[in-house]
Amino acid sequence: MLLSIPTLLLVAIFIFALMGLLTLHAWSRGVRERTLGYLGSMLLLAACGVTLISLRGLTPDFIALVLGNIVLLLGAALNWTAMRVFTGRPPHLPGILAGALFWSLWGLMPGFYDDLGLRVTVYSMLAATYGGLSIFELWRSRQQLEVSYLPALLLMLVHTGFYCVRTVADHGVSLDQAITSNGRGTGFFSFMLFESMLYAIGIAYVTLAMVRERTELKFKAAAYADPLTGVGNRRAFMSRGEKLLADCARRGEPVALLLCDLDHFKRLNDTHGHQTGDQALIAFAQITRNSVRQEDVFARIGGEEFACLLANTDAQTAQQVAQRICESFYALPMLEPGFLSVSIGIVGASGPGEHDLSRLLSKADNALYAAKHQGRNRVHLYQPARWLQSEQPAGTL
């Protein structure tokens, strides 16, 4: 039993309009993610296009067959644009207008109104092309998205597949025949309306979910990052450091903690201003980040204090890394010698029960204090029995 075509048309118009308005509302109330703006506009264009097509017989054929399909093709292009923008690429205006422009020019040619089957085939091919482009945008950027993109991808695959099938399976049915449920293709027409409604609801929901997930990831990343230097903050260090220590303890690997404190930082700020102090912090963060590996945990845990956990690293190797950081920072040509230097306390952990972050921080703080006490601009290794200093100053104070 076929559903009433007029009812399906009316329901489709209201669903497209409702989902479009809700999507635009989410866009205006949230972080104004452009993806939602394009998607909401696409759904409103779909509602407008179906409305124009439904006027067949009540208005000139140009309104329904040309203008209506132009609006629908622009909607399909905005669906592609929404996925393109979501993946970080700019809108492609020629591509957006290409389908609508082709249909406009074809509508001016003789014979356009005479071949219903050809119009259905061409429109389906254009819609499938835009659907394929939408799929391609998500697929090629899947490694960088960091969100659950598979529901959207599968939904677009089904929608695009439907139009691919329609290019060969549907020879078209006039709106009069569809309304009276008379003629071949009426069932396909009903299914097309039903599928379009499901797609509108589904794509609006999954796109909103992707946008929200990415926004939450951005907020989470911001909560774990130091806004000045761009490295992790204390919260990030404690969270990721605990995980690194647990992994190293499980594998029986040694780990080393470097606790770094910029020397005479207050003097630097008082003499050269806070802007210079900020530049020194940024420069030190960059030097240290270039000196450690990606799997290590590095963060700014205080005003001028930084910490770094080196995975699978013994104390001797940690000393070499720390010495390289000291020398590189001291050699920066920002200020005269003596204004830029760092003291680093080092503690290693290799045995069972030693992979405890709070205890390592306490020991590294003792080693850092010793480095400060011995003249600054040096590294100092903590030992359980006694503090064995590394008499390797990075420069002359």
Domain boundaries, the chain: 5-223, 234-389
pLDDT at 1: 45
Whether 357 has a pLDDT exceeding 80, the answer reads yes
Region 357-384: mean pLDDT is: 90
CB-count burial class (<10 Å; 0-12, 13-18, 19+) for 135: buried
pLDDT at 173: 62
Whether 389 has a pLDDT exceeding 80, the answer reads no
Q: Do the domains spanning 5-223 and 234-389 agree at the CATH topology level?
A: no
> Which residues, in sequence order, are bridge partners of residue 287?
none
pLDDT at 79: 97
Q: Which two tokens stand for residue 59?
A: 């208005």
Q: What are the tens digits of pLDDT across the range 301-339?
A: 999 999 999 999 998 999 999 999 999 999 888 776 667
Confidence of residue 192 (pLDDT cuts 50, 70, 90): confident
Q: Which CATH architecture has domain 5-223?
A: Up-down Bundle (1.20)
Region 65-89: mean pLDDT is: 95
pTM for the full model?
A: 0.72
CA atoms within 13 A on the CB side of 330: 21
Sign of CA dihedral 137, 139, 140, 146: positive
Region 336-346: mean pLDDT is: 84
Whether 100 has a pLDDT exceeding 70, the answer reads yes
pLDDT at 191: 82
Q: Which CATH architecture has domain 234-389?
A: 2-Layer Sandwich (3.30)
pLDDT at 186: 67
Q: What are the tens digits of pLDDT across the range 20-61?
A: 999 999 998 865 789 999 999 999 999 999 999 988 878 888
Q: How far apart are CA 340 and CA 358, in angstroms?
A: 29
pLDDT at 390: 45
Do 383 and 346 touch, CB atoms closer than 8 A? no
For the chain, the first-to-last Cα distance in angstroms comes to 92
Whether 160 has a pLDDT exceeding 50, the answer reads yes
pLDDT at 387: 42
Whether 188 has a pLDDT exceeding 90, the answer reads no
Residue closest to 53 by CA, chosen among 62, 65, 45: 65
Sign of CA dihedral 177, 112, 55, 197: positive
